[in-house]
Amino acid sequence: MKSKVLLIYTGGTIGMMLDAKTGHLKPFDFKQLTDQIPELNKFDVTLSAISFAKPIDSSDMQPSVWIEIAKMIEKNYDKVDGFVVLHGSDTMSFTASALSFMLENLNKPVILTGSQLPIGMIRTDGKENLITAIEIAAAKEKRKPIVSEVCIYFEYQLYRGNRTHKFNAEHFQAFQSANYPVLAEAGVHLKYNHSALQKSNGKKLKVHASLISDIAILKMFPGITQNVVEAILNAKNVKAVILETFGSGNASTQKWFIDALKKAIDKGVVVLNVTQCNAGKVEQGKYATSAAFKKIGVIGGSDITTEAAVAKLMFVLGTTTNKKEIEKLLKSDLRGEMTI
């Protein structure tokens, strides 16, 4: 039996073609996909495609679009063996993280990919990214999907989506997964790191479509003022703040700063401590500069990325309003997004 793969085109560089008349980039019609990538005709895969009515730049990505993608997957879940989501690279890590939380009990591959150059350009990286993403989405062993989680495939490497970070705007190798191993590498052969892959639990897919985006990011820097800190912590309707700290979770020990955090937490604002570093993790109390955080109720985010922290907070806040349950969920590894 041929594997069936559904392509979902949201927008982004990969789907752009140069209009000969205007000289501008414009989305190409996915009905002509095999004209642009004739290699797809050689696949022993049944391909189908759906596209957003109005493709969007990934810089305009919103939680409402994540919900739309999740519902597309839910609607077609029993019809296909895997999904490839074509997406702009700038916010791809946010979308991959969000989908990982929204698609509970996912037992099929959802592979996000894109490109740094439009697919209509001769030197595009989009062709290889798309072809291999489809191959991964269709791959099975003993009639079961090899991959059963939300991933990003880019420049010969497959990553767990909620572990990624876009670190380069110019190189084809645009993503990193500093705190978790690569899931697969594409060379002469496609080699899977089976020990790192999520295991399917066989349960029925459950889609969570409630996301609360009343959150903020407070990035620490030397010289940050009390006015700035308090403006963010006291912003109207803010329910949670991601505190991007130095090193292993450290920040200023000035009394006004600790007092401002405590006041916000006492009012019910959730504060999640995430490191600014690309690699490593938060260890509250390792140094004196983070010892006070534990006492006032700041939640340590371990090695979660900022992108995954944003998505996880939106998901958790949409799941429960109970403060203890929120803290429990944030400290738990829900979808392989953090090391406990």
Give per-residue burial for 142-156: e unless 16+ CB within 10 Å, then b.
eeebbbbbbbbbbbb
With the CA atoms of 114, 148, 66 and 239 taken in that order, what torsion angle do they form, in degrees rounded to the nearest 10?
-120
Is 305 catalytic? The answer is no
Q: Which residues contact 1 (CB under 8 A, 6 or more apart)?
A: none
Complete edge-to-edge strand list for the sheet that includes strand 184-186: 45-51, 3-9, 82-86, 110-113, 150-154, 157-160, 184-186, 190-192
* SS3 of residue 230 by DSSP: helix
- Angle (CA) 29-113-27 rounded to 5° is 20
Please count the helices (runs of H) and the strands (runs of E) in the chain. 9, 20
Residue with tokens 């308090």: 230
Half-sphere exposure (Cβ direction) of 197: Cα atoms closer than 13 Å:
21
Distance CA 247, CA 303 (A): 11
Query: Which member of 10, 13, 275, 305 is catalytic?
Result: 13
CB 296 within 8 A of CB 258: yes
Which residues are marked as active site?
A: 13
